[in-house]
């Protein structure tokens, strides 16, 4: 959903849904989602600025908890993917700031958390959750490929995620030959998106927060 006109020239406070808000897809119910919508607003939306100009940019908020399954409510996944395809169809020209909770796929060793996906087994407290998605450290490889291509589509941007409490900085480089994205500690492609996994604000992690600034380079005609 496009919130551009609603927030034009106004300060923003944006909430990003996480697993402690709505649960993983194997947990998320209509009640969880209704509560989140009432207290915090939409879980998927975009806000565009200066569209059609050389200095266009947008903010995209994505509910990454409802991208993969098996899900308790499969229609939630359908809704989230529909949002991504609608976003892709806009063919936005400019830089994107993506805010989402679960980091994208990366091989073991690049960050503190390695790839891990777990499913409810026969010992699940609620038997209707057996075989449903229980938890995940990263999005899967295939989902990562699809989401990065749908959102960035060879345009520049940055990703802000959470979930891995220790924090991390990674680049997703696109191979121009096979159109596949791969994670690395350095930028090594003409099409590369930086992912910053923000370190937890909890006291045991030092009570961190962060500030990101944006500057439009008029000589290079791009956001930095």
pLDDT one-digit tens code per residue, 119-158: 999 999 999 999 999 999 999 999 999 999 999 989 999 9
Residue 17: pLDDT over 80: yes
2 pLDDT more than 70? no
Average per-residue pLDDT for the chain: 93
pLDDT confidence of residue 94: 96
Quote the CA–CA distance of 162 and 197 in Å, as a whole number.
5
* Residue 69 pLDDT: 96
Q: What is the pTM of this model?
A: 0.93
Confidence of residue 1 (pLDDT cuts 50, 70, 90): low
Residues 6+ apart with CB under 8 A from 210: 196, 198, 199
């Amino acid at each position: 959903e496009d919130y551009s006109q609603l927030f034009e020239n106004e300060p923003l406070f944006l909430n990003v849904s996480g697993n402690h808000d709505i649960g993983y897809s194997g947990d998320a119910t209509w009640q969880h989602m209704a509560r989140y919508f009432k207290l915090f607003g939409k879980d998927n939306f975009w806000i565009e600025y200066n569209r059609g100009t050389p200095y266009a940019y947008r903010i995209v908020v994505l509910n990454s908890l409802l991208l993969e399954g098996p899900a308790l409510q499969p229609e939630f996944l359908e809704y989230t993917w529909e949002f991504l395809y609608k976003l892709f169809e806009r063919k936005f020209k400019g830089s994107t700031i993506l805010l989402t909770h679960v980091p994208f796929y990366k091989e073991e060793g690049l960050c503190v958390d390695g790839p891990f996906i777990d499913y409810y087994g026969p010992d699940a407290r609620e038997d209707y959750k057996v075989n449903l998605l229980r938890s995940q450290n990263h999005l899967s490889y295939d989902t990562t490929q699809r989401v990065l291509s749908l959102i960035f589509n060879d345009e520049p941007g940055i990703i802000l995620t959470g979930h891995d409490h220790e924090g991390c900085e990674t680049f997703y480089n696109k191979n121009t030959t096979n159109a596949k994205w791969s994670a690395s500690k350095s930028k090594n492609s003409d099409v590369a998106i930086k992912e910053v996994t923000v370190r937890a604000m909890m006291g045991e992690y030092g009570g961190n927060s962060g500030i990101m600034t944006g500057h439009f380079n008029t000589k290079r005609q791009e956001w930095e």
